[in-house]
Amino acid sequence: MPKYFYCYKPFGVLCQFTGEEPTLVSLGSFPKEVYPVGRLDKDSEGLLLLTDDAWLNHQLLNPKFAHQRTYFVQVEGIPTEEALAQLREGVTIQVDGKLYRTKPALVRVLDPAPLLPERFPPIRYRASIPDSWMALTLIEGKNRQVRKMTAAVGFPTLRLVRQSIENLSLSGLQPGECRSLSQEEAYRCLGLTGFLRSRGGPAKKR
């Protein structure tokens, strides 16, 4: 039976099990077959799903399935309506040395700011430059895409926290904490229950 875990990856932790520390080993002991589904940069935080379910990995990472990923983004400055409209429509960023037009996104300003655990080290505070928070929902996951998108509209990212993948969220987790899921729970939270066979395995999409 495949295994499923979800974690709150802290700032500074690499999404790998070997090499430069700290790595995912610092979050707990995982079966050797388990690996992260997608990645978060070392300087990004938030929800990380780990599994040995190759079918699920394909469903979540293949762009044609367009699963929603929501990020809480602290940016430098106060986003204008024009900037928010640009993010919703799609902006041009660099991906692998080429220009890429992002797909339309959902975006809203978070006021008040979300209640999140403190980051260590904290974001540098500058009294002369205001900051604000947005919720940004994407259906794709290019390398450092959120940071590139906010920079493209003139509001650099200061802190980035992945809050959810579909209906699987950070709710109740603290940085560094991990929990296990049953296959049924994982598929239900990720909107994939229609693909489960009656015996509990993934079914082919019809």
Tell me how far apart the alpha carbons of residues 194 and 206 are, in angstroms, rounded to a whole number. 10
Catalytic position from the list 41, 43, 52, 131:
41
Query: What's the burial of 1, exposed, middle or buried (CB within 10 Å: 0-12/13-18/19+)?
Result: exposed
Structure tokens at 169: 């969220």
- Check if the beta carbon of residue 14 is closer than 8 Å to that of residue 23: yes
Tell me how far apart the alpha carbons of residues 164 and 172 are, in angstroms, rounded to a whole number. 12
Examine the residue annotation and report whether 111 is marked as an active-site residue of this protein: no
Tell me how far apart the alpha carbons of residues 139 and 103 are, in angstroms, rounded to a whole number. 8
Please tell me the number of Cα atoms within 13 Å of 175 on its side-chain side: 12
Give the catalytic positions in this structure: 41
